[in-house]
Structure 1
Amino acid sequence: MTGAVILVVAVVLALGVGAWRARVDGRFGARRTPRATAPAASSAEPGEPTAWDAVVAAGLVETPGERATLLQFSSAFCAPCRATRRVLGEVAEVVPGVAHVEVDAEHHLELTRTLGILRTPTTLVLDAAGREVTRAAGAPTKQQVLAGLDAAV
């Protein structure tokens, strides 16, 4: 009897977590304040370091978008990362002035920590000045990315 109760509780708990993840995965939310030990990478104040400044400091020589940049953090064996790469690439092709930059989180751990990336894929939407406007953890849909870009342009 006790085993059956534990099994039912475990199934209900797993269904609840699965429903929650399905609801929040890929949604863009408000920008987050970086960790207290990290530089102000997503600051909105002029003159302070931006998320793009952190990318440049990490040695990545990509070109930001004129209007916005979709900064994707991914890892090598991540299937949702490949889907996110495809979606972000399509959006960058369709929307003028938007660039897609992908960062391998495993090879750029300092940058990943500085920007407070907790899982892959994570997408940051940066405005023309390189400041983080919004972010999404998980694989976003094309509509979610376009809605996130609306806040940046």
Structure 2
Amino acid sequence: MQSPSPAGILVLVAVLAAATAFGWWRRRHDGRLRAVRKRPSDAAAPHRATLTVLGVRPGERTLVQFSAPVCAPCRAARRVLADVAARLDGVAVREVGVDEHLDAARELDVWRTPTVLVVDGAGRIVRRAAGVPDRDELIAALTAGAAR
């Protein structure tokens, strides 16, 4: 049996370091709510028609969850959203099957499940999270939005 070459060991160490860095980055960002950047065309809430098709009603704060049948984290996200809606008045939850609404998912830049969109009463997407969102972060985002 031949001993490993120094180049092979170096490649192995580099791959392990890259995988560790990616895992750390993914863990820090998974489920984090982030503000949605406003574009000049956002004044009229450009996704209002798509959100209406998904069941979002004007005037209500809504949590829209995109999920898939084979998505295990989607069940955890569903529980978090139900808990948040039970704690706050006037917050609706809509779960959307990404496979039934593929066009809407593409339009709303949904690339993984679960993805949660926070929609304000004016029909604008104000925050989003890819992964299972933090309950306290959601509550803070919804109560801050209600104060405006």
Superposition TM-score tier, normalisation by shorter sequence: 0.7 to 0.9
Identity of aligned residues (%): 42
**Higher helix residue share:** 2
Give the letter for the 2:78 counterpart. R
CA deviation after TM superposition for structure 1 residue 150, in Å: 3.2
Count of aligned residue pairs for this structure pair: 140
**TM norm structure 1:** 0.81
Distance 2:67 2:47 in 1: 16
Give the letter for the 1:94 counterpart. R
CA deviation after TM superposition for structure 1 residue 129, in Å: 1.9
Match of 1:77 in 2: 70
The match for 1:89 among 59, 64, 82 is: 82
Match of 1:13 in 2: 18
Match of 1:113 in 2: 106
Give the letter for the 1:51 counterpart. H
Distance 1:75 1:114 in 2: 17
Distance 1:152 1:50 in 2: 19
| Moved segments of 4+, more than 3 Å | 49-52, 62-67
CA deviation after TM superposition for structure 1 residue 143, in Å: 1.2
**Contact conserved, 1:52 with 1:130, CA < 8 A, in 2?**
yes
What are structure 2's unaligned runs of at least 5 residues?
1-5
Distance 1:112 1:70, change over 3 A: same
Higher-Rg structure is: 2
**Contact conserved, 2:58 with 2:122, CA < 8 A, in 1?**
no
The match for 2:34 among 16, 21, 29 is: 29
**TM norm structure 2:** 0.84
Match of 1:54 in 2: 50
Distance 1:148 1:17 in 2: 27
Match of 2:133 in 1: 140
